[in-house]
Amino acid sequence: MGIDYSWHSFDVRDFHFIILDGAWTEEDSFISPENPGNAQLPPVYLRLKDEFRFTTSNDPMGHVGHIPNRDLQRLKEDLAATRKKTIIFCHYPINLGPYSHRLDNEAEVVEIFGRSGRVIAVFAGHHPRCRYREDNGMHYFTLQGMGQNCRRFGSYAKVTVTKDKIIVDGEVEQASYVVHYNK
């Protein structure tokens, strides 16, 4: 796709956007064709928002991602430097409940979001089904996969963010949402 970065942030009007790359198996090892992520197959110790636990061979979670410490530090610094409402994008779902594809260091990531007081929404993929959760004033969305486990291919969403709401207009198998935020 021509993306040559694992971290990116930018502003558009009144909003700040951060792209997190969760496709790491550990601090200096990213998931690639040469490294398909087998290190993240069970058992993996997960530091989730809701619990800390090891995955098991019966766990339907499969691969999990990881945000390296250097990117956690960048995230803290970036959120501290902005006064704008912030929207996060990450391939792996964040804070959507047990037994979902996740980040193994989710608890640290969610804590950084919450301490900043800036994050209004987090968008992710990887999981083959739509999910939504509001937690602590932040809205977590997992968008429908485009092909895996789909009855119809090509799901996507058009997202509109206004001064007080987020509108996710889903197409094909993607669910639609309208949520209000107060930050």
| CA 40 – CA 45 distance, rounded (Å) | 9
| Tens-place pLDDT, residues 91-147 | 888 887 665 667 888 889 999 999 999 999 999 987 667 889 999 999 999 887 665
Residue 120 and residue 52 in contact, taking contact as beta carbons nearer than 8 Å: no
| CA 122 – CA 119 distance, rounded (Å) | 8
User: Six-digit token pair at 39?
Assistant: 């290190």
Residue type, 88: I
| CA 42 – CA 104 distance, rounded (Å) | 11
What stretches of 85-163 show up as alpha helix (H) in DSSP? 106-116
Residue 116 and residue 110 in contact, taking contact as beta carbons nearer than 8 Å: no
Q: How many CB atoms lie within 10 A of CB 111?
A: 14
Mean pLDDT of the chain: 81
Residue type, 110: V
pLDDT value at position 1?
A: 47
Mean pLDDT of 20-38: 68
| CA 102 – CA 66 distance, rounded (Å) | 8
CATH class of 7-147: alpha beta
Task: Domain ranges for the chain, please list them.
Answer: 7-147
pLDDT value at position 105?
A: 86
pTM of the full structure: 0.84
Burial (CB count <10 Å: 0-12, 13-18, 19+), residue 46: buried
